[in-house]
Amino acid sequence: MRQITMQEVELHNTLDDCWVVLNGKVYDLSIFQKEHPGGSKIISDNAGKDVSSLFNSVHPQDIIQRHLPPEACVGVLDVSTVDPEKHIVAAEEKAPSRG
């Protein structure tokens, strides 16, 4: 599987070109965000970021396999390219509440 740098992920940060990091894998959510049950805003607001913490706090583990086609995964994050001081993560306060 292709190794993708965090810097490349950060470039895909628009409505039409939306990549996120989720548990070490990089997903292209450009098409899916329009179908997202929670609305596209939460995805577009966090495009180009690591959304693992936010995602895991509101979704069951198997939801990716149930709702995304395999080709949505464009690669794995090259963790050696993540600068801990600059690493961009999703904003927790933007998450919709459960219930």
- Return the pLDDT at 28: 98
Q: Where are the domains of the chain?
A: 3-90
Do the strands 25-28 and 3-4 form a parallel or antiparallel pair, or are they unpaired? unpaired
- Return the pLDDT at 97: 47
β-sheet bridge partners, residue 27: 20, 73
Low-confidence stretches of the chain (pLDDT < 50) are 93-99
- Return the pLDDT at 89: 67
Give the DSSP letter of residue 71. Answer: G
Pick the CATH number of 3-90 from 2.160.20.10, 3.10.120.10, 1.10.10.10, 3.50.50.60: 3.10.120.10
Phi first, then psi: give them for residue 16, nearest 5 degrees: -90, -10
Structure tokens that stand for 59 in this block: 């979704």
Q: Please, are residues 18 and 42 in contact by the beta-carbon 8 Å criterion?
A: no
- Return the pLDDT at 87: 64
- Return the pLDDT at 61: 84
